[in-house]
Amino acid sequence: MPAEWAPHAGTWMAYPTPNQTFGDGVELAAARAAWTAVANTIVRYEPVTMLVDPGDRAELLDPRITTLAVPIDDAWLRDSGPTFVYGPNGGPYAVDWGFNGWGAQPWASWVDDRQVARRVADAAGVPRIASTLTQEGGGFHVDGAGTVLLTDTVQLDPDRNPGWTGAQVEAEVHARLGTTTAIWLPRGLTADYGKLGTKGHVDIVAAFTRPGTVVVHTQPDPGHPDYAVSQEATQILRDQGLEVLELLAPTVTEIDGELVDYSYVNHYVANGVVVLCAFDDPRDAQAAAVLAEAYPGREVVLVDARDVFRFGGGVHCITQQQPRTVPPQPQPLEEVSWT
């Protein structure tokens, strides 16, 4: 799997549809506006393809965005979609991880979403590789040079992979991603274990910015439960010889008395741009400065992500990159079979 900062053919996303996550009224409209803001930003830099559930209308999208009518349950394409990789012959493949609604969460539906990876691969004209491991794209992060970040509470979740050992997980991950070294973090951010959480996705805790360097969510308040989480993650990563760049957590930690997991780590790197979660927070500008230095030559664009996080994720969670070696345009819809 190439690193996220490698050249892209484009980005895949999915348009929020009525469900238990978004409802079907004001909250759904807010979600659609938030997803649209991200898509309309990315399409200024590279092609975007948006999956839209049949019957839904995506009226606010930039006209340059390609839409495909595909049945979906939810709109977290990082998780339900495929992971694009290079094959042994240099050609593209799409890894189809098992998907079961983030460990069979009681609010989740995945009848259609478990087919999304296959449908995206078909639309992209890319051969699919089915994995025996159940996980989501937000549950790992690679440096493109052989190292992958994982978390105990995702890959070893008994509701995802009952009976799997760490060694078995590593063998399957390495086989599908071409990695050779796995670094395990014990847990994710605290709020990620609440309602609409993923039970520990790494992409709000730590992310590579180049081989040997990671950004880490850093909670500076010793009274906050994520202080220990971030300190532990930082120590583990430094013990592995990695350079750690601290991204201070936003100052806002609760909304209506509920803990939030706002994180600048959950950014998306596309061609010529870093799309960074913004929270109308004093630390937005500081995070932008850190990432501008981490990704020289790319513009850092802040996009309000509060409504994305309200529904359980961030900018990284709703996007999935397709490396440039993969054909940049999907097949016309009429040429794709969903059966």
Q: Which residues are catalytic?
A: 317
b/e string for 129-164 if b means 16 or more Cβ within 10 A? bebebbbbbbbbbbbbeebbbbbebbbbbeebbeeb
Q: How far apart are CA 166 and CA 328, in angstroms?
A: 35
Q: How far apart are CA 142 and CA 53, in angstroms?
A: 30
Torsion over CA of 273, 274, 280 and 281, rounded to 10 degrees? -140
Q: How far apart are CA 254 and CA 261, in angstroms?
A: 9
Length of the chain: 339
Contact call for residues 314 and 289 (beta carbons, < 8 A): no
| Nearest Cα residue to 297 out of 270, 325, 315 | 270
Contact call for residues 323 and 9 (beta carbons, < 8 A): yes
Q: How far apart are CA 3 and CA 143, in angstroms?
A: 5
Q: How far apart are CA 105 and CA 107, in angstroms?
A: 6
Beta strands 273-278; 268-270: pairing state: antiparallel
Q: How far apart are CA 278 and CA 269, in angstroms?
A: 15
Please, which contacts does 179-182 make with residues 24 or more away whose CB atoms are closer than 8 Å?
A: 179/1, 179/142, 179/146, 179/147, 179/148, 180/146, 180/147, 181/146, 181/147, 181/148, 182/147, 182/148, 182/149, 182/150
